[in-house]
């Protein structure tokens, strides 16, 4: 897939500078800094309450930033709505299961593909998702709301992939899944980054999983980004408790 023609010359797909965001009177993010290049996988890590999810929701349009800038492919997106983000090639998979409970598994996946205008790409992506999660093929006619939590998690990731995103945002993709399934998901994300230049920002609590797929790791602490290191630097470090 050719990269979007509006990508900045420096290759930065997503740039977050001095981001402030929160809910009601509470500020959860005071100073978040991120920069992701095309085809890069970055793991955003930190304790619960560090501001990771609020940061990602601000990028996608679910939370309106209170300060700073968020640029996607060179354009300021701080005022975008989620549907604008999807139309421009951004997907977001929340930590909680996000499926259309009253619809079939197959219809859930088809809804995820509505922003993908290429029928050939839709079919190819559908086969990829069904190969990744065979249970979705086996139970394509089953109502999504009858799935277990882990199965709904698989479906929610499948829905995101069906939109053929250029930037994929995932909040704890390993949540509720077996290690074997997590390994397969991470392998697929890495392959998409390598072969299609898809950019991935994932929130992950498990450093082992993060280092299997990420090019870089960004640490957040109390609403601020406090470390930006390559995966290799983190592997050499070996001990990470003091960072959190």
Q: Tokens 């698989």, residue? A: 154
- Angstrom distance (rounded) from CA 43 to CA 233: 14
In the prediction, which pLDDT does 240 show? 74
In the prediction, which pLDDT does 6 show? 47
How many C-beta atoms surround the C-beta of residue 183 within 10 A? 15
Q: Give the predicted TM-score (pTM) of the model.
A: 0.89
Q: In the numeric block, which tokens belong to residue 200?
A: 């991935």
The side-by-side arrangement of strands in the sheet containing 26-37 is 75-76, 67-72, 12-23, 26-37, 224-230, 216-221, 41-45, 199-203, 167-171, 90-93
- Cβ contacts of residue 211 below 8 Å, gap of 6+? 43, 217, 231, 234, 235
Low-confidence ranges of the chain (pLDDT < 50): 1-7, 9
Q: Is 222 left (phi over 0), alpha (psi -120 to 50) or beta?
A: left
93 and 171 Cβ atoms separated by less than 8 Å: yes
- Domains of the chain (ranges; CATH) run 10-89+166-177+190-232 (3.40.50.300), 96-164 (no CATH)
- Angstrom distance (rounded) from CA 46 to CA 203: 9
38 and 195 Cβ atoms separated by less than 8 Å: no
Compute φ and ψ for 222, nearest 5 degrees. Answer: 50, 45
Q: Give the tens place of pLDDT for each residue, 212-223.
A: 999 999 999 999
In the prediction, which pLDDT does 153 show? 87
- Cβ contacts of residue 9 below 8 Å, gap of 6+? none
In the prediction, which pLDDT does 5 show? 43
Q: In the numeric block, which tokens belong to residue 100?
A: 């259309």
In the prediction, which pLDDT does 4 show? 40
């Amino acid at each position: 897939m050719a990269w979007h023609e509006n990508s900045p010359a420096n290759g930065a797909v997503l740039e977050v500078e001095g981001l402030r965001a929160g809910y009601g009177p509470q500020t959860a993010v005071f100073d978040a800094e991120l920069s992701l290049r095309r085809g890069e996988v970055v793991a955003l890590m930190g304790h619960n309450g560090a501001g990771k999810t609020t940061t990602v929701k601000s990028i996608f349009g679910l939370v309106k930033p209170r300060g700073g800038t968020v640029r996607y492919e060179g354009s300021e997106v701080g005022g975008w709505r989620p549907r604008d983000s999807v139309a421009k090639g951004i997907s977001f998979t929340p930590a909680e299961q996000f499926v259309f409970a009253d619809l079939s598994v197959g219809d859930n996946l088809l809804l995820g593909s509505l922003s993908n205008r290429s029928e050939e790409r839709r079919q190819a992506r559908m086969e990829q998702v069904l190969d990744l999660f065979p249970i979705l093929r086996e139970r394509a006619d089953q109502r999504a709301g009858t799935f277990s939590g882990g199965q709904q998690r698989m479906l929610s990731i499948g829905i995101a992939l069906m939109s053929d995103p250029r930037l994929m945002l995932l909040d704890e993709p390993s949540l509720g899944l077996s290690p074997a399934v997590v390994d397969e998901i991470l392998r697929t994300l890495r392959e998409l980054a390598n072969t299609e230049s898809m950019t991935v920002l994932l929130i992950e609590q498990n450093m082992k999983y993060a280092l299997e797929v990420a090019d870089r790791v960004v640490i957040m602490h109390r609403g601020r980004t406090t470390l930006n290191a390559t995966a290799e630097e983190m592997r050499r470090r070996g001990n990470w408790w003091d960072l959190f």
